[in-house]
Amino acid sequence: FVKSVFGKDGMTSVRFAMVGGGGGAFIGPIHRMAAALSGNCELVAGAFSRDAHNSQATGVQLGLDPHRCHAGWETLLSDEAARPEGQRAQFVAIVAPNAVHAPAAIAAMEAGFDVLLEKPLADGLSAARAIAQAAQRTGRLVGVTHPYIAYPMALQARAMVAKGELGAVRRVAVSYIQGWLGASEDEGGKQAAWRLDPAQAGPAGAFGDIGSHAFNLVETLTGETIVRLSADLRATLEGRRLDDDGAALFALSGGGKGTLIASQVCAGEANGLSIAIWGEKASLHWAQQEPNALRLLSRGKPEQVWRAGSDQAWLEEAVRTGCRTPGGHPEGFIEAFANIYRDFSDTVAGRTVAMPAFAPIEAGLRCMAFVDAAIASSSADGRWHWVAVHNG
Amino acid sequence: FVKSVFGKDGMTSVRFAMVGGGGGAFIGPIHRMAAALSGNCELVAGAFSRDAHNSQATGVQLGLDPHRCHAGWETLLSDEAARPEGQRAQFVAIVAPNAVHAPAAIAAMEAGFDVLLEKPLADGLSAARAIAQAAQRTGRLVGVTHPYIAYPMALQARAMVAKGELGAVRRVAVSYIQGWLGASEDEGGKQAAWRLDPAQAGPAGAFGDIGSHAFNLVETLTGETIVRLSADLRATLEGRRLDDDGAALFALSGGGKGTLIASQVCAGEANGLSIAIWGEKASLHWAQQEPNALRLLSRGKPEQVWRAGSDQAWLEEAVRTGCRTPGGHPEGFIEAFANIYRDFSDTVAGRTVAMPAFAPIEAGLRCMAFVDAAIASSSADGRWHWVAVHNG
Amino acid sequence: FVKSVFGKDGMTSVRFAMVGGGGGAFIGPIHRMAAALSGNCELVAGAFSRDAHNSQATGVQLGLDPHRCHAGWETLLSDEAARPEGQRAQFVAIVAPNAVHAPAAIAAMEAGFDVLLEKPLADGLSAARAIAQAAQRTGRLVGVTHPYIAYPMALQARAMVAKGELGAVRRVAVSYIQGWLGASEDEGGKQAAWRLDPAQAGPAGAFGDIGSHAFNLVETLTGETIVRLSADLRATLEGRRLDDDGAALFALSGGGKGTLIASQVCAGEANGLSIAIWGEKASLHWAQQEPNALRLLSRGKPEQVWRAGSDQAWLEEAVRTGCRTPGGHPEGFIEAFANIYRDFSDTVAGRTVAMPAFAPIEAGLRCMAFVDAAIASSSADGRWHWVAVHNG
Amino acid sequence: FVKSVFGKDGMTSVRFAMVGGGGGAFIGPIHRMAAALSGNCELVAGAFSRDAHNSQATGVQLGLDPHRCHAGWETLLSDEAARPEGQRAQFVAIVAPNAVHAPAAIAAMEAGFDVLLEKPLADGLSAARAIAQAAQRTGRLVGVTHPYIAYPMALQARAMVAKGELGAVRRVAVSYIQGWLGASEDEGGKQAAWRLDPAQAGPAGAFGDIGSHAFNLVETLTGETIVRLSADLRATLEGRRLDDDGAALFALSGGGKGTLIASQVCAGEANGLSIAIWGEKASLHWAQQEPNALRLLSRGKPEQVWRAGSDQAWLEEAVRTGCRTPGGHPEGFIEAFANIYRDFSDTVAGRTVAMPAFAPIEAGLRCMAFVDAAIASSSADGRWHWVAVHNG
């Protein structure tokens, strides 16, 4: 019913289906809250769980037609594809475990659906490339959800760098610090278990889980690529097989340098993602835990603090429309996530989006290449490695 | 479709209708975003505008059945009342101009609906009392939306004071500072026009519009009543007939003292609501613009900063369930507003709510009494006046 | 030996004597550290205590000639006056109990010395007026130490208001919140004892001790006078005879309004003096506990944060010379106090000071009038009282 | 005259001489202000400049006996050594250019004086070792001034780590970011010129100048040594021969890892030194630009903010005595520097100091070894290098 809480007049709501996100999941409800806030899309079908009962129950609780709630993405796709054009889902959001991403996404594209994927793109670089190739082959749109680039003030930072307000970027410091895996007694929970298991999480732990967000934030905000890095990863707690802590030095395509830290074993830290971008003429500081402020330090001028708000005339237009409320009404993580759904739905519907809040498939591929390069460098005593995305 | 984005298993979604909030309104969309996020209620009907076309268009865009979109609350109420029990709206949310509140709310209650009212309760104390009497007569539930008390850390502050962690409250300072009416060129907008017109806004300007939020925040967080006050209100800009700036000294029922400032003419301020509650054993500081932190200053101990998050074990249980995400994922104004819809819907459905995020009708009445007392004191050269709510 | 740590080339150090500040005193050492940092004055004599042994011991420890250490200000003054011009003290700093201020200051002026007085000017309005009359009669300079106006960023705020950068001042909020007298067990200490005793402290408690600093900060930074006020003072703890907590509404000479809070019974607070000055075009926020930052909120522009530092080109020249170090090297309370000694010494030596960091005698008189008006208003149920300084 | 502004009863002031710091110098006046505030030492002689007139003028302005003001440290030392014991300097503070450090310090020790050296210890590792050998040979005390470890809350952090309150240190992030050498037009000033010239500054630029402070802060606060590092240094601006920007990954002796950033080309930054120490049980955040607060994040508890103040009972005793004022009276850079003079003078006088604020000679040597290792690693494409201090 809220398909247009935030919509523009005359705009048609975009229909989507969800793979994953059944009862007990964490990220599924976040996606649904985001879609609800987006104001321009509507969940119409789902394969929420391999467990038929769970999938039905989830869908019914969400008010869906029980006939559109399936136990597998295979039947979901065939059923939706068979429905009339004005009724069937226009895109598929995939929030299932990483191993499901590639088969489901590829099948969805082949069945004619655009795809929005929860990060990471896939459970390995080859699977990710297969998704990319399918996208190219089918011409379908693929988006990846990196919510931290979708905050209004992160979009503003990106615009300011792009417009040259910082001059050349000289140095970047990004860190993503958590503490929730800091002790052995933390290892029991559902969220922890799969992240600590190489079979489910892939080759990287903290660097894959949160380091990739930090990496993507750097590349998105600077508009440059990280071309080389020297990394030092480790499993801090005894018995762990994946990195839970690490750092890297890196070089940007424009000549700047940087540092990246990702850790999940730092006592007392919650979700401490922050970035500084230091330039020739000005510098920016932004911290996800206080997302509505962006500090601007300029050569020879007093410091400024730019704040989010639909009425803050000095913000980029695309940033202001990404704010649901005027200045002084804080927005947060769910609103940022909702910007992803809004922009992805608009793009699916053929509407132009100035500065999309979702990450393109290339960004998803680069995150995976980053993780591989970091592991390679760390295994080679810090030798610098190229962050390269090879096609095919 | 998102009626259960946040819901508990097996919970039935609560149906509601909306009066007001048609195309062009500000607060209507906020209410709808809040309801969408709440996860336990569903908009099913509306009288969004006196203009039939606008009301239909709004409702259709929201995905409603066109037969349930009306040009007036009268037909909305009769139509809904005639529908079968499992289909008809269970409560009516009123976001129309203040003068509509009393007639619509009273009629709704008499037709068997509970009522959620955008603040203020009514356009004057006698209308407000009529609502209260109708509530008593019909036994219906009335809630008022004061979103600032619905933030998790405001709820936490309220719980801490209630549990005696501050000891006796000695002093309170609350201020609500805005700048958007600071110049004569600000007077043209739609939001400004009715607020500056005594015929539409009632006897008070800034004190009614935002001072009442500050007042309610004090009474809700301290759990005490403001019994007396000495106020100094004024219209700062030439030609204004209502206060746009003012302050008051006040006395609390428990013996503490306080100050309250409300202004809409302070250059550069956005939505600066903040409160300090100083006690015998400890003190609290909270600011709406950084709502996820609550500072606790204790006698003889280092300062603490309590932060929101569903996983912060030291928070009250009712506060943790008011957080949609774990620590470090900021939530904001819309999430606070969503807590109101969630708690009101739960109460309508007969579920117990430990510390409701919506304000009861008594709070709405007291806000109006506060405004009257402030005007009386200010007109009498600051002579102290009792803030009394007389029945009938 | 440090008479020129901070001095200008060729500048002669100004000699001064001290009355009070013997072993065990709190404020005496602060004055001496400030003088040491000032770089342009030198302690040469003292009557540090009525106890001859204490006075001698203090002076000797400070490296003074024992013949210039006296048991009373009477012999100090006569001895110094008898010394040759190039040797004798040029001013007397009085840090003795309040009752000593008037007799010592008047005698010093009559003996030809300028006088720097620790706040408050005297132990009552009539004694204060006697000092003022003596100053007028003798033509000597009198300064009062209000250190909070001597911080670089307070000076900057004062300059910005004076230059019209805020437009008309509309509202001011100043509060000075402490917690160190919050419980009965706090009453034993030396600092507490005299402040709680009307015979030693005068008619006011917290309002005299710290409210006067807040008052002076308002008048100095706005460049206006507080013309009327309505106050509410009280002794919170049982058995106290003087106010330990209170607040006032006030009116400024330029038409603006304000609130002032002073309390010493707020648990967990240290030395919380802060001020907001809201104007027509821009507003300022400053907090003594983070003194090196000044927030500037302007209509229609991003917020700015101005920071202290001798190299911050956008600061007023008088502010930059009040900074001993370049930006990013924090300065604090003692440095602010040192600015008082520096400016007073420069003025004594006949050098022009653009924006003196010491308060003039008029400010000292006004502080006392403020306290009297606050007590009168509070005793009359908040009736507004004029803050008037009557001569003679 | 202020030799005892802060002193303990009966304490004798310690006499010292200064080499360097004549008219026009930057750091000399800071040392003298620090000594003035320390309260337990007294400048009695100096060789302030090779220019006899400058040295005399400086000394006279400081109130010294002209016979104790010399044009060279050689005559200063012989003259002082010849004076009677109760009169002659007890230590020599060397604030002259780096190349002077070793000859002056060694000669001073051989003449029987203790030595306090402005950082860095010397203009190269071999000169530094010669100082260390002289210290060992003569048994004299050598201190180095690293003011950032001398802040009360840095001392508190050090104590908390030492007492095990963080558990094992897992990760450290330290960064020292400035912007004052960010453009070619910044290169003209006196401070800039010698730092950009390898002949005067030695082999490193930013890493030597400020990276060494960051390094020392890590080692002092953790109580561990940085054993290995991988560094990436560069000269950002065209034509520069020394690094003006760089970063390193490092490993601590206790098994933790870390990152260090030092840059002088980041637009808008003043003196941004900050550190985070993340542990197994708790973590600390401290920033030099807000030095009076120390954030403590603990596993499973609300965040705390510890603040400086002589009356904050929960601080270490050595930290409280390092505060000149009670809580809420900010102290800054000069006060931190004064703690160095106080502790060094106390040690010279044979008094025990619990947690000295000055750095020992070993720390000075390690800083130089750090710079050498960083350059070596950076030249070898980031290969990890040991930070080793080899004797002799």
Please name the amino acid found at residue B304.
Q
More confident residue, D195 or B316: B316
What is the pLDDT of chain A when averaged over all its residues?
93
Kindly give the interhelix angle for B73-82 and B98-110, rounded to the nearest 10 degrees: 20
Q: Which of C156, C305, C312, C315 has the highest number of chain A CBs within 10 A, making it the mutation to test binding with A?
A: C305
pLDDT of amino acid C233 = 97
- pLDDT for D376-388, tens place per residue? 999 998 889 988 8
The token pair that represents B387 in the structure block: 């803030």
What ranges make up the beta strands (E) of chain C? 14-19, 41-47, 91-94, 114-118, 142-145, 169-177, 226-234, 245-252, 257-263, 272-279, 282-287, 293-298, 303-307, 359-360, 385-386
> Average model confidence (pLDDT) for chain B?
93
* Cα end-to-end distance, chain C, whole Å: 43
Confidence band for D196, pLDDT divided at 50, 70 and 90: confident
* Per-residue CA distances from A142 to A129, A358, D318, D339 (Å): 12, 9, 60, 60
Would you call B303 an interface residue with chain D, using a CB distance cutoff of 8 Å? Answer: yes
- Determine the 3-state secondary structure of B285 from DSSP: strand
Task: Decide: B272 and B178 in contact? Cβ < 8 Å.
Answer: yes
Cα(B367)–Cα(B363) distance, integer angstroms: 6
pLDDT one-digit tens code per residue, D83-124 = 999 999 999 999 998 899 999 999 999 999 999 999 999 988
With CB atoms and an 8 Å threshold, state whether C326 touches D37. no
The answer to whether the Cβ–Cβ distance between C303 and A304 falls below 8 Å is: yes
Q: Is the pLDDT score of A17 beyond 60? A: yes
Residue B93 identity = A
SS3 D360: strand
How close does chain D come to B343, measured CA to CA in Å?
A: 27
Q: Which residue of D has its CA nearest to A234?
A: D257
Question: What whole-number distance in Å separates Cα of residue B19 and Cα of residue B98?
Answer: 12
The arithmetic mean of pLDDT across residues D157-168, rounded, is 98
| Among B167, B225, D312, CA closest to C237 | B167
Beta bridge partners of D43: D16
Q: CB contact, 8 Å: D304 with chain B?
A: yes
Judged against a pLDDT cut of 70, whether residue B8 lies above it is answered with no
Dist CA C27 CA C334 (whole Å): 11
Which long-range contacts link A245-248 to residues 24+ away (Cβ below 8 Å)?
A245/A206, A245/D170, A245/D171, A245/D257, A246/A206, A246/A207, A246/A211, A246/A374, A246/A378, A246/D257, A247/D171, A247/D249, A247/D257, A247/D258, A247/D259, A248/A374, A248/A377, A248/D249
For B57, the 3-state DSSP assignment is helix
Flag if A302 and C300 touch (Cβ within 8 Å): no
Q: Given pLDDT bands bounded at 50, 70 and 90, which one contains residue D203?
A: confident
List pLDDT tens digits, range A48-68: 999 999 999 999 888 899 999
d(CA C333, CA C323): 12
C305 close to A302: Cβ distance less than 8 angstroms: yes
Residue A8: pLDDT over 50? no
pLDDT digits (tens, 9 = 90+) for B107-146: 999 999 999 999 999 988 889 999 999 999 999 999 999 9
User: CB-based contact (8 Å) between B320 and chain A?
Assistant: no
State yes or no: pLDDT of B390 exceeds 70. no
Please name the residue of chain C whose CA is at the shortest distance from the CA of residue B266: C278
Amino acid at C359: A
Kindly determine whether residue B261 and residue C232, on different chains, have CB atoms separated by under 8 Å.
Answer: no
D205: closest CA of chain A, how far (Å)? 17
Find all residues with CB under 8 Å of A199, minimum gap 6, and list them: none
pLDDT at D304 over 80: yes
- Inform me whether the pLDDT recorded for A2 exceeds 50: no
Whether the link from the prior residue into A66 is cis, omega within 30° of 0, is no
**CA-CA distance, C317 to C325, in Å (whole number)?**
14
Max Cα-Cα span within chain C: 64
Helices (H), A303-360: 317-320, 333-348
- How far from B257 is each of B163, B225, B232, B265, B383, CA to CA, in Å? 20, 11, 17, 26, 16
Confidence of residue A11 (pLDDT cuts 50, 70, 90): low
pLDDT value at C189 more than 90? no
Asked if residue D4 has pLDDT above 60, the reply is no
Least CA distance to C246: which residue of chain B? B257
**A-chain residue closest to C315, CA distance:** A302
B203 with B165: CB under 8 angstroms?
no
Residues of B in contact with C303 (CB under 8 A): 268
Six token digits for residue A234: 């480790």
Q: How would residue B366 be classed by pLDDT, with cut points 50, 70 and 90?
A: very high
pLDDT at D61 over 90: no
Residue tagged 């054009």 (tokens): A85
Question: Which residue matches tokens 């402070």?
Answer: D213
Q: Considering only CA atoms, which of D215, D180, D212, D175 is closest in space to residue D196?
A: D180
User: pLDDT tier at A94 (50, 70, 90 boundaries)?
Assistant: very high
| Percent of chain C whose pLDDT exceeds 90 | 84
Cβ separation D314–B302 shorter than 8 A: yes
Q: For A221-237, what is the mean pLDDT? A: 97
| Partner C contacted by D324 (CB < 8 A) | yes
Q: Give the pLDDT confidence score for residue A392 in this predicted structure.
A: 42
Q: How confident is the model at residue B11 (pLDDT cuts 50, 70, 90)?
A: low
Dig out the tokens for C119 from the structure: 């706040």
The arithmetic mean of pLDDT across residues B190-197, rounded, is: 84
pLDDT category at B23 given cuts 50, 70, 90 is confident
What separation in angstroms does the CA of C209 have from each of C98, C317, D116? 11, 32, 43
Which residues of chain B make contact with A35, given a CB cutoff of 8 A? 2
- Whose CA is closest to C116, among C337, C338, C334, C344? C344
Closest CA to C157 of C168, C167, C165: C165
Q: What string of DSSP letters covers C70-85?
A: -SSHHHHHHHHHHS-T
Residue type, A312: Q
- Residue pLDDT, tens place only, A253-265: 999 999 999 999 9
Find the mean pLDDT for residues A141-159: 98
Q: H helices within C174-271, ranges in order? A: 190-195, 198-201, 206, 212-222
Beta-bridge partner residues of C306: C294
- Mean pLDDT (chain D) is 93
- Give D322→chain C minimum CA distance, Å: 14
Chain D residues close to C326, C-beta within 8 Å: 270-271
Residues A260-296: tens digit of each pLDDT: 999 999 999 999 999 999 999 999 999 999 999 999 9
pLDDT over 80 (residue B43):
yes
Give the contacts of C87 (CB within 8 A, at least 6 positions apart).
C15, C44
Q: Is A263 helix (H, G, I), strand (E, B) or coil?
A: strand
pLDDT tens digit sequence for C117-149:
999 999 888 899 999 999 999 999 999 999 999
Q: How confident is the model at residue D390, as a pLDDT?
A: 59
DSSP summary character for residue B208? I
Alpha carbon distance B125, B388 (integer Å): 12
C35: chain D residues, CB-CB within 8 Å: 2
pLDDT at D8: 46
Per the CB < 8 A criterion, the answer to whether A149 and A176 are in contact is no
Mutation pick from B301, B303, B307 vs chain D, by most beta carbons of D within 10 Å, is: B303
pLDDT of C184 > 90? The answer is yes
State both tokens at B292. 């996820």
Are B333 and A333 within 8 A, CB to CB? Answer: no
Q: If pLDDT is split at 50, 70 and 90, which confidence band does D7 have? A: very low
Q: In 3-state terms, chain C is what percent helix, strand and coil (to 5)?
A: 40, 25, 40
B13-27: average pLDDT: 90
ipTM for the predicted complex comes to: 0.96
- What is residue D5's DSSP assignment? T
Neighbours of A191 (CB within 10 A): 14
pLDDT reading at A7 higher than 90: no
Task: Flag if C62 and D332 touch (Cβ within 8 Å).
Answer: no
pLDDT at D11: 61
| Those residues with Cβ within 8 angstroms of residue A87's Cβ, 6 or more apart along the chain or in another chain | A15, A44
Helices assigned H by DSSP within chain D: 27-38, 52-61, 73-82, 98-110, 125-138, 152-162, 190-195, 198-201, 206, 212-222, 317-320, 333-348, 361-379
Helix (H) or strand (E) holding D50: none
- The larger pLDDT score, comparing residue A190 to residue D196, is at D196
User: Mutating which of A177, A232, A265 best tests the D interface, going by the most D Cβ atoms within 10 A?
Assistant: A232
CA distance A112 to A129: 19
For residue C389, give Cα distances in angstroms to A5, B88, C217. 61, 71, 18
Residue D384 to residue A382, Cβ atoms within 8 A = yes
* 3-class secondary-structure state, position B106: helix
Instruction: Answer for the pair B20, B100: CB distance below 8 angstroms, yes or no.
Output: yes
